[in-house]
Amino acid sequence: MNENEQPGAGGAALAEAVRAAMPMAGALLEDLAQRTGGPKGITRTPWGDGEQYGHDLMAKAAEGMGLQCARDAAGNLYMTLPGRDPKAPAWLIGSHVDSVPNGGNFDGAAGVIAGLAAIAALQALSIVPARDVTVMAIRAEEAGSWFSGAHGGHLGSRMALGLLEVSELDTAIRTDSGQSLRTHLLAAGCDPERIGKGRALLDPAGVHAYLELHIEQGPVLEQRGLPVGVVTSIRGNSRLRDPRCLGEYNHGGATPQSFRRDAVIATSELVLAIDGKWRELESAGHDLIFTVGKVSTDPKLHSLSKVPGEVTFTLDIRSGDPEVLATMRAFVEAAAADIARRRGVRFELGGFSISVPTVLDARLRQRLVAGADALGLPAMEMASGGGHDAQEFMRAGIASAMIFVRNANGSHVANEGMTLDDLAAGVRLIAWMLAHE
C-alpha cells in the first residue's frame, strides 16, 4: 500500500461501492434523456435550455452528496469533494453536458456522471482522498456543431484555461439563433467581459491532473469485447475543406474514353490512391484513418449522358503521428499532380488545414493501465479519433488522461449503446485512481 492508498480501496470493496452508486448514475442519465430528448435524439445546445438543465441537474445531485459547487464566468460547473490536504493541487474529473443537434445522451454527460459516481463510491467506503477532487461539467465542447466563426470547438474549456481568442466572443455566431457568443453568454448569466480579458478562469497550478471519461466514438472496444480503453492520444488532422477537380464537359455518347477529361474518374482514382497508401501505412503499424465525406458534381450542369467536367469533394486525414500526417499531405499532392497529368484534368486542392495530434500524459496512462490490471478489467490502449476537452488541458500544461467506455452504434447518434455495466467499469477505474494517488 502506498502512502496515499487507504483501506477499502481494493478491488472487491470498490466494485461493490461502485455498484451501489450506479442507480444514481442511471437515474441522472434517464432524467437527462427525458428532459432534453426528442423523437430524433438529444439536443442540449451550448448556453441553451438543454445544457443549462443538465448543469442544474448535476449541481443538485452534487449538493445532495455534500459537495461544494461553484461556477466560473463561462458557466462551467465545479463540484468538489474536499481531500485531506486542501492546499494540494486537485484532481479534476471533467467532461461536457452539451450535445450535437439530435445526438446521443451519453456523449459527454456520462463522463460528468461517472465523476460523481466515483466520488459516491469513495464516500461509501469512507475514503478521503489525499487531495481535493473536483468534477467539472464543461460548457460547449460541441461548439463546432453550433457556432460558425469560432476558431475551434471546446469553447468552455478554452475559456476556463485562457485559450479562447477574444475576437471569438463576437465572431462566433450560433447558427440556430444568428446571435453572437457574447450575446448567448450574457443571456445565460455568464460574464463575457471577464472572459474578454483573456486570462484563465482556472489556475493550472491548482490542478494535479485532468481525467476524462467518454464513450468511445467508434466500434473498436465493441469488436474487441472490452469494456474500457485507455486513450493514448487524440488524433490530429489534415483537411482539404473545398478542393475540386476540373476536367471538361462533353457529350457522353459521342466522346471516346481516350479523349475524355473526366473529373469523376480522376477524383475516384485519387481516392483509391489514398486508400492504397492507407493500406501500406497501416500494414506497417502506423495510425491512420481518412474520410472523403462529400463528393459532388454540379447539379446545374451534370446529366445522365454528359462527361462530368467538375467534381467537388472533401478530405479528412487523421493520425496520432504528425509524421504520418505530413507523409499523407505530400502523398495527396503528388498523386493529384500525377493523375492530373495523365488524365488531362486539374486539381485545385487549396491548402490543408492542420490540427496537431495531442499525446496524453504517459505517467497517467501507465497508472490507468495498472489500475485496470489491479481491478481485473480487460482493457486496451487506443487512440481517439475525435477531439475532446482533454487536449485543451494538455495544451495548458495540465497532465491529462482519458478513459473510453465501450459504446455500440457509434456516437453523435440518437441510439448510442453504452451500458451501465460498462460505465461502472470506467467508474471503478476513476475511483481507483483517486484512492491510490
DSSP 221-238: HHHHT-SEEEEEEE-EEE
With bands split at pLDDT 50, 70 and 90, how would you rate the model's confidence at 11? confident
Q: What is the mean pLDDT of residues 18-30?
A: 98
DSSP 129-180: -SB-EEEEEES-TTGGGTEES-SSS-HHHHHHTT-S-TTHHHH-EETTT--B
Q: How far is CA 207 from CA 1, 92, 93, in A?
A: 24, 7, 10
Q: What is the mean pLDDT of residues 17-28?
A: 98
> Measured between alpha carbons, how far is 175 from 291 in angstroms, rounded to an integer?
25
Task: For the chain, report the end-to-end CA distance as a whole number of angstroms.
Answer: 11
Cβ(318)–Cβ(236) below 8 Å: yes
Least reliable range by pLDDT among 6-15, 88-97, 335-344: 6-15
The three grid cell numbers given for residue 29, joined into one nine-digit string? 442519465
> Measured between alpha carbons, how far is 162 from 201 in angstroms, rounded to an integer?
7
CA angle 334–337–338, rounded 5-degree value: 85
What DSSP character marks residue 259? G
Phi, psi of 382 (to 5 degrees): -160, 155
Listed in sequence order, the residues at least 6 apart from 264 whose beta carbon sits closer than 8 Å to its beta carbon are 297, 308, 311
pLDDT tens digits for range 98-151: 999 999 999 999 999 999 999 999 999 999 999 999 999 999 999 989 999 887
> Measured between alpha carbons, how far is 378 from 229 in angstroms, rounded to an integer?
8
Q: What is the pLDDT of residue 89?
A: 97
DSSP 399-415: -EEEEEE--BT-SSSTT
Number of residues in the chain: 437
> Measured between alpha carbons, how far is 391 from 358 in angstroms, rounded to an integer?
6
E-only strand ranges, 248-396: 250-251, 289-291, 295-297, 306-307, 310-313, 315-319, 346-348, 353-355, 358-359, 379-384
Instruction: Delineate the domains of the chain, giving CATH numbers in brackets.
Output: 11-235+357-435 (3.40.630.10), 237-355 (3.30.70.360)
Q: What is the mean pLDDT of residues 214-238?
A: 95
> Measured between alpha carbons, how far is 302 from 358 in angstroms, rounded to an integer?
42
As to burial, measured by CB atoms within 10 angstroms (0-12 exposed, 13-18 middle, 19+ buried), residue 341 is exposed
Cβ(75)–Cβ(55) below 8 Å: yes
The torsion defined by the Cα of 333, 276, 327 and 320, in degrees rounded to 10, comes to: 130
Mean pLDDT for the chain? 95
What DSSP character marks residue 204? G
pLDDT tens digits for range 252-285: 999 999 999 999 999 999 999 999 999 999 999 9
Q: What is the pLDDT of residue 3?
A: 44
> Measured between alpha carbons, how far is 347 from 337 in angstroms, rounded to an integer?
7
pLDDT of 2 above 80: no
DSSP 270-281: HHHHHHHHHHHH
**Which of 211, 223, 234, 230 minimizes the C-alpha distance to 380?**
230
Q: What is the pLDDT of residue 9?
A: 62
Distance of CA 118 to the CA centre of its chain: 21
Q: Identify the H or E element spanning 96.
A: strand 90-96
